[in-house]
Structure 1
Amino acid sequence: MGKIALGTSREAAEPDCIRALVVEFITTFFFVFAGVGSAMTANKLDSGLLGLFAVAIAHALVVAVMISAGHISGGHLNPAVTLGLLVGGRITVVRSILYWIDQLLASSAACFLLQYLSGGLSTPIHTLGAGVGSVQGVLWEIILTFSLLFTVYATIVDPKRGAIDGLGPLLTGLVVGANILAAGQFSGASMNPARSFGPALVSWDFTDHWIYWVGPLIGGGLAGFIYENFFIAPTSHVPLPRDDDAF
């Protein structure tokens, strides 16, 4: 069973952690920049279903590329992914907190820059679709994020991934795109608190925002716990630094 490792405050000053944080910031920035930018373009063109498809494709492509480019940090791009890996014992609590701060700052910076570059165009926030209640929205986000983390574990983390080795970033991008097509008109298909936070902050509109924290974090944490403890053999677990700090 994967155990949660606390880590220590010294971890933040280690060169490998600093490099990982820089890479995580850069990759999350470009992920949000492309993702939110595509949504802004779709809104401006008022392109309906075609716009939703374009947004899904943009997210799928940028997720695949940024996960690959972010191999130094792991290319999480997402607090829910970080939480899933934390629950699975793949990252320490200290580094997880640093990643979460990093991801939120990167998302905010990307959205502020998009607002400036677009001449003040509003950044569309994630909100529930017509007729969708809060409980339904949370359930949507739990299910979508569970599928995302399950894919991350099955195609990137699992040492027994076999013939799909190396295809993990692409497959993860594809599941993100598919989920946006499936649920974009219902819950907004965030799957990512950082992706929702930047636009909400810049627009100063936090309508339904809590849903995009509760749903993804539950779904991500649950997927990480289940996959790590039921599908990955304990002997294949890669020990974390300072594993004696774990509990």
Structure 2
Amino acid sequence: MSNRIALGRREELTHRDTLKASLAEFISTFIFVFAGQGSGAAFDKLTRDAPAPTPAPATSLVAASLAHGFSVIVAISVGANISGGHVNPAVTFGAFVGGHISFFRGIMYWVAQLLGSIAACYLLRLVTGGHIGSSFALSNGVSYGNGVVLEIVMTFGLVYTVYATAIDAKKGKIGTIAPLVVGSYVAANILLGGTFTGACMNPAVAIGPSLVRWDWTDHWVYWVGPLIGGGLAGVVYQLFFISHTYQQLPND
């Protein structure tokens, strides 16, 4: 794998293609987090304002699943032709270890994704009068070890799906429905893991509400788990299923 990992050139940090792709990542991540986190804020307000009995927790889980699934479909679709529609530092890291993005370009993606999430949460707080939903944290009874492993497994599946439907050159016609496939996977995993870890699978999604609420409870779990899972998926898919050499950016 080492011969496939590309550091790239420092010039990529200011290359027009990198800047355009990074802006696309910022916008796509903003769209995803604003809609997804906003759905949680809306449900919290409905719960507080609704007369008894309040909605069942299962209803909240289904609402979060649908909101995040639909919004990630849109976010990936609008960024796919410009940046690849990563919308997730774990996806970018998985692409990096497989040699599909350089280190410098990947750093720019990370910065854009994190800023997109933070901007979305600050704007959400502004326009909703302080309602931004909750930050990610482990549920009662879920240990750090269990939480990290669950995030690893879910993110592994997510990045593996991205490889199979979007990155692999042999993807064929399935590439046209990659956003739908990935969105369906995200929605399904929220139904599975939402009760235990929140089913984050994305450090950018976690950092926005944590920063705005200044609540860093268990926050490290949502970096360690997704990055390990994303990296493993990139290694496994690259080693066993595809062969690819990273292409440098064209000269100006």
Using structure 2 for the length normalisation, give the TM-score: 0.92
Are the structure 2 counterparts of residues 122 and 22 from structure 1 closer, same or farther at C-alpha, using a change threshold of 3 Å?
closer
- 1:9-43, CA deviations, whole angstroms, 9 ceiling, x for partnerless residues? 11122111111111111111111100100111122
Q: 1:125 aligns with which of 135, 155, 180?
A: 135
Cα offset, 1:163, TM superposition: 4.5
1:13 aligns with 2:34: no
Query: 2:72 is matched by which residue type in structure 1?
Result: V
Task: Give 3-state SS (helix, strand or coil) of 2:200's partner.
Answer: coil
Task: Give 3-state SS (helix, strand or coil) of 1:11's partner.
Answer: helix
1:239 aligns with 2:243: no
Kept after mapping to 1: 8 A contact 2:4/2:245: no
Cα offset, 1:45, TM superposition: 2.3
State the alpha-carbon separation in 1 of the partners of residues 249 and 14 from structure 2. 15
Cα offset, 1:49, TM superposition: 1.0
Tell which deviates more after alignment, 128-137 or 152-161: 152-161
Kept after mapping to 2: 8 A contact 1:35/1:62: yes
Tell which deviates more after alignment, 65-74 or 198-207: 65-74
The equivalences for 1:163-242 within 5 A come to 163-232=173-242, 234=243, 237-241=244-248
Kept after mapping to 1: 8 A contact 2:40/2:132: no
- 1:189-243, CA deviations, whole angstroms, 9 ceiling, x for partnerless residues? 00000000000000000000000000000000000110011111x2xx2532069
Query: 2:28 is matched by which residue type in structure 1?
Result: T
Kept after mapping to 1: 8 A contact 2:201/2:222: yes
Kept after mapping to 2: 8 A contact 1:111/1:123: no
The equivalences for 1:96-175 within 5 A come to 96-175=106-185
State the alpha-carbon separation in 1 of the partners of residues 203 and 36 from structure 2. 14
Task: Give 3-state SS (helix, strand or coil) of 1:167's partner.
Answer: helix
Runs of 4+ in 1 over 3 A off after TM superposition: none
Query: 2:204 is matched by which residue type in structure 1?
Result: A
State the alpha-carbon separation in 2 of the partners of residues 74 and 163 from structure 1. 16
Kept after mapping to 2: 8 A contact 1:146/1:219: yes
Query: 1:104 is matched by which residue type in structure 2?
Result: L
In structure 2, the partner of 1:91 is 101
- 1:154-194, CA deviations, whole angstroms, 9 ceiling, x for partnerless residues? 11111222342311110000000000000101011000000
1:69 aligns with 2:70: no
Using structure 1 for the length normalisation, give the TM-score: 0.93
Task: Give 3-state SS (helix, strand or coil) of 2:113's partner.
Answer: helix
Q: Which runs of 5+ in 1 are unaligned?
A: none
State the alpha-carbon separation in 2 of the partners of residues 164 and 99 from structure 1. 25
Kept after mapping to 2: 8 A contact 1:150/1:223: yes
- 1:77-103, CA deviations, whole angstroms, 9 ceiling, x for partnerless residues? 110000000000000000111111111
Q: Which runs of 5+ in 2 are unaligned?
A: 48-54
Cα offset, 1:44, TM superposition: 2.1
Kept after mapping to 2: 8 A contact 1:42/1:52: no
The number of aligned residues is 240
